Amino acid sequence: MDVPHRWNSTFEMLDVALIYEETFTRLEFMNKNYVHNPSKEEWKVAHVVRDCLKIFDDASVHFSGSKYPTSNVFFPDICEIKLQLREWEKSPDECLQMMAGPMNLKFSKYWDECSICLVVVILDPRFKIDIIEYYYDKIFGKELSYSHVERVRTAFFDLYIEYGGRVILSESTIDNLGYEELMSSSHAVNHSSPQSSKLNDFKRWRMME
């Protein structure tokens, strides 16, 4: 059953119901007393909403991981959600536009407060600071992304020094910081996971840089 104030129950309800879309249609055709079949337009809206909520469902799987719920796992998910919300606001689908506006407004509030806390993803040797540059270029545009990347770089330098760093970090040092330690101790993301497929564009971008 749907729980109005919990999006995940709505996703699960729609995901199951859409499997039986043709069944409902056949039932309406065979039984004239059956009047509960959604209209074609309502089924269309159900598909749109289900596909949107699936992005959040995939991300929540990473957030709730008990072994390694760290920012190197879910930073790409956060960025992908922000990008999707922006695309939905420009969608020709009126229903999607109406959903995306309030969602993006609330998301932006948390993004402004928390985005700088997520950038320890650069300690992951698979990503380094490249992952920040890649997503910030897409989120802010190339002209504005530089200042945001520099903000991250400065915050990271300051944090390192504050917690006992005796050597002043150079720009090249940050790209290699923690490489050996993380290679031996970090938990790699499953390469068959949805997140892994999301990062294919990032890998291609890095090869071209």
**Lowest mean per-residue pLDDT among 45-49, 170-174, 200-204:** 170-174
Buried b (16+ CB within 10 A) or exposed e, 164-178: eeeeeeeeeebeebb
**In the numeric block, which tokens belong to residue 124?**
């992951």
Short-list 104, 79, 118, CA closest to 202: 79
For 84-111, the pLDDT digits (tens) are 998 888 888 888 888 888 888 888 887 7
Is residue 124 within 8 A of residue 113, CB to CB? The reply is no
Q: Between these two residues, 141 and 167, which has the higher pLDDT value?
A: 141
Residue 187 confidence (pLDDT) above 50: no
Short-list 40, 19, 42, 36, CA closest to 95: 42
Where do the domains of the chain lie? 1-67
For 31-88, the pLDDT digits (tens) are 888 888 888 889 998 998 898 888 888 888 777 765 655 666 778 888 888 899 988 8
pTM: 0.68
Distances (CA, A) of 148 to 83, 130, 134, 172: 16, 13, 12, 18
Q: Between these two residues, 52 and 172, which has the higher pLDDT value?
A: 52
